[in-house]
Structure 1
Amino acid sequence: MNFLKLNKAALIALALTLSLYSCKKEKPTETETLDRPESLSVNQMSDIKICTERTLDGTTPRGAVITSTKWPNGSTIKVSLNGGTSTVRAKVIQFAKQWEQYANIKFNFVTNDNTAKIRVTFASGGSWSYIGKSTPSTGATMNYGWLTDNTADSEYSRVVIHEFGHALGMIHEHQHPLVSIPWDKPAVYAYYAAAPNYWDEATTDNNIFAKYSTTQTNYSAYDKFSIMHYAVPNELTIGDFEVGWNTVLSPTDKSFIASVYPF
């Protein structure tokens, strides 16, 4: 598990922008279990684009200071839900509050309050969140662009818990300092060079292969079952390695966030 250090600019994790998606578009089936991630293939990922992390000035998010991203322990964080239906807002609250069970942090949910530090909107086109407490003074700091009254609970769980993990300072698990995913780099380059991403090799290097150093993050052991992990199809790795759709907090997620925000 990772905790990002920031220096000057807040990091933004764009999980589902118009051109960058990290979430599976199909609804999970009713038989999908929450504690056993679903595997996937490259074909299943044909319409999926992966999220990126950016600073406000457009630089790579490496080389940062943890004190500027971590909330003070014991904080009550005001979260304003701006827009969306009452059902969608209730679901966001339900799943976001799971972090409170393991972290010494409380979320105070309100509506249409621009003084809130976390300001959630529901504009179509993507789901994303700024990382940690360093957020702009105006505008949205988190967005859910595709959740509806009819979205399955398993999908709410996966997306909402993931984005609020970013809001607490967590980065993507595949960039863990100790990660050793056996990527098939030519296959990965070819996949992300094609539609719908159209990434060049440098972009793929930065968003897929780049890792944080042990001096840049507060971290625990690498965890392929983390809610913060990308799905990784077997076809993009060498040997027999894959990561399915993680939809719930893993045991390591729980213990790690408890160590960062201890009771």
Structure 2
Amino acid sequence: MEKLRYCAAPPRIMPMLPADIPAERRRAIVVGRAMWANGTKLRYAFLDGGRDEQKAVVRESFAEWKEIGIGLDFAEVSSPAEAEVRIGFEQGDGSWSYLGRDVLQIGQSERTMNFGWDLTTPHGRATARHEIGHTLGMPHEHQNPNAGIVWDEEAVYTFLGGPPNNWPREKTFHNVLRKLDPAEVKGSDWDPESVMEYAFPSGLVITPEEYKKNGIRPPGTISKIDMEQVLIWYPGLEAQLPRLTPFQSTPLSLRPSEQFNAEIVPDASREYSIGTFGSADMVLVLFEEDKGELRFLAGDDDSGQARNALIKVKLFEGRRYVVRARMYYSWASGSSAVMYW
């Protein structure tokens, strides 16, 4: 097996939560913070340095994820200032991406994703799919704490400390040997076929036994379980949305990671409040329709706080807006609602 270069994901930007928050609530918030509001159009821009054939692979990889039928959309834009996802091609800096909505905390002039080697090879195409998976909120599969992998740790340090990766021990630990906190994981126990799984040669895994002899050899494509999981997070969107009526509360029956979507068409131009109510952690996002496209207008996230999400914004008569409320966690079933006034 040839020596491959591997994704070196940056550390997660973890939310600051109260020390006494219950573990189940903490887990729901940490997992949910990486996920986009379903229905979001992620705009990506290429920074200087990428060749046309490299950019083509990235475009094709975005299209592969979209073809699964997810509720997210992707659009290439020319200005990095308009993009949530900013893609560089700096050689010598490896390949990596921030995880999910962590990209929103990165400065507008900075990369949120980088490709440090040729993407036109099979390994390069797998890398493009993998980094986009990170941007969708998917962590490294081999770090799943439920995988049951026992490593020959010194062999792993030696393997990744040599060429072509030349990683220091702390980078190897962060990207391979460190088990993810259970709060960071939602999904299957372990999918060795996942596009988020590294390929490893024999001699690095002690158990499971079959991988000790044969190594871990994922195909580099989006697996069946990858598809199932990403569709749980981002199911296809309904064609027609319910419309909210001013001053009328709409009850929500959501489980963690589920989302409510509705449209608002104001009958007067003025300042409005849009809010959630009840015993739940929610992220609330508002989009405005502009020439047939939804553009982010405002949002609020109340997770881990003793309050509800609230947006105050001026809306204009006759324009169409879409509000999306995604639940992290509820500690009183059936007790949440959304309203605008």
Residues 82 and 111 in structure 1, CA contact (< 8 A), matched pair in contact too: no
What is the match of residue 80 of structure 2? 113
What residue in structure 2 maps to residue 140 of structure 1?
111
1:218 aligned to 2:189? no
Listed as ranges, the matches of 1:40-119 within 5 Å are 40=1, 44-45=2-3, 48=5, 51-55=8-12, 65-83=30-48, 84-102=50-68, 103-119=70-86
Q: For residues 122 and 206 of structure 1, do their structure 2 counterparts lie closer, same or farther at Cα, with a shift above 3 Å needed? A: closer
Alignment gaps of 5+ in structure 1 = 1-39, 58-62
**Corresponding residue for residue 172 of structure 1:** 140
Distance of 2:47 and 2:171 partners within structure 1: 33
Matched ranges for 1:100-249 at <5 A? 100-102=66-68, 103-125=70-92, 126-135=94-103, 136-138=106-108, 139-147=110-118, 151-152=120-121, 154-192=122-160, 197=166, 199-200=168-169, 204-238=172-206, 239-241=209-211, 242-249=215-222
| 1:67-108 alpha-carbon deviations (Å, 9 max, x no partner) | 322100111111112332333322211122211122211101
| TM-score in terms of structure 2 length | 0.55
**Residues 124 and 243 of structure 1, relative CA distance in 2, 3 Å threshold:** same
Report if the CA contact (8 A) 2:88-2:113 is conserved.
Answer: yes
Relative to structure 1, the CA distance from residue 245 to residue 251 in structure 2 (aligned partners, 3 Å threshold; closer, same or farther) is closer
- Which residue of 2 is the match for residue 11 of structure 1? none
Percent identity between the aligned chains? 29
Q: TM-score, normalised by structure 1?
A: 0.70
Shift in Å at residue 161 of structure 1? 0.6
Q: Does the 8 A contact of 2:8 with 2:95 survive in 1?
A: no
The 8 Å contact of residues 97 and 134 in structure 2, kept in 1 or not, is answered as: yes
Shift of 1:120: 1.1
More deviation in 187-196 or 171-180? Answer: 187-196
Establish whether residue 260 from structure 1 lines up as the match of residue 230 from structure 2. Answer: no
Contact conserved, 1:77 with 1:105, CA < 8 A, in 2?
A: yes
**Greater length-normalized contact order (CA 8 Å, ≥ 6 residues apart):** 1
User: Do 1:92 and 1:156's aligned partners in 2 also have CA atoms closer than 8 Å?
Assistant: no
Cα 1:144–1:206 change in 2 (3 A) is: closer
Partner of 2:303: none
Q: Which one has a bigger Cα radius of gyration?
A: 2
Matched residue SS, 1:74: coil
Distance 1:205 1:121 in 2: 25
- Gaps in structure 2 of 5+ consecutive residues: 15-26, 237-341
Structure-2 change in CA distance of 1:53 and 1:119 (3 Å): closer
**SS of alignment partner, residue 170 of structure 1:** coil
The amino acid of 2:88's aligned partner reads T
- Number of matched residues? 212
